[in-house]
Amino acid sequence: MIERELDLVRAVALGDTTTDEGRTTFLEIFRAYFDNVTATVSAMRQSASTDDVKAHAHRAKGASGVVGASRLMASFDDIEACAAAGEHVTANTYDDIDRQLSALRRTLSVRLGVDLR
């Protein structure tokens, strides 16, 4: 399941979870990722401007790529394309992003034995 949500090759490059220092770094990066992307999705939901949504989606797509969240990266790419075409993104799309974020957070929390909230 995690392989669909997370590109493990990219994620491992963020920190060696077998060492205390690497694990701490990995956790800090993912906590920051979750905080930032959650705030970005909230901003996109509230924005009436497709240009703003496009910019937010682009940043979230890049952040998702950095941490290896490949499924989320693809979802943000879809949102960016939709906004670039001048289309408004539906609440269902944002709800799907929220579900993907929650699933990734749960999966990593279980795998690492730590709560990533």
Q: Which fold has domain 2-112?
A: Four Helix Bundle (Hemerythrin (Met), subunit A) (1.20.120)
At 83-103, the pLDDT tens digits run: 999 999 999 999 999 999 999
Q: In which element (H, E) is residue 6 found?
A: none
pLDDT (0 to 100) of residue 2: 47
User: What are the residue boundaries of the structural domains of the chain, listed by start?
Assistant: 2-112
The three-state secondary structure class of 113 is: coil
At 97, give phi and psi (nearest 5°): -60, -45
pLDDT reported for residue 46: 96
Among the listed residues 9, 3, 13, 19, the one whose alpha carbon sits nearest the alpha carbon of residue 108: 3
Other beta carbons within 10 Å of 71: 16
- What confidence score (pLDDT) does residue 22 get? 80
**Above 50 in pLDDT, residue 60?**
yes
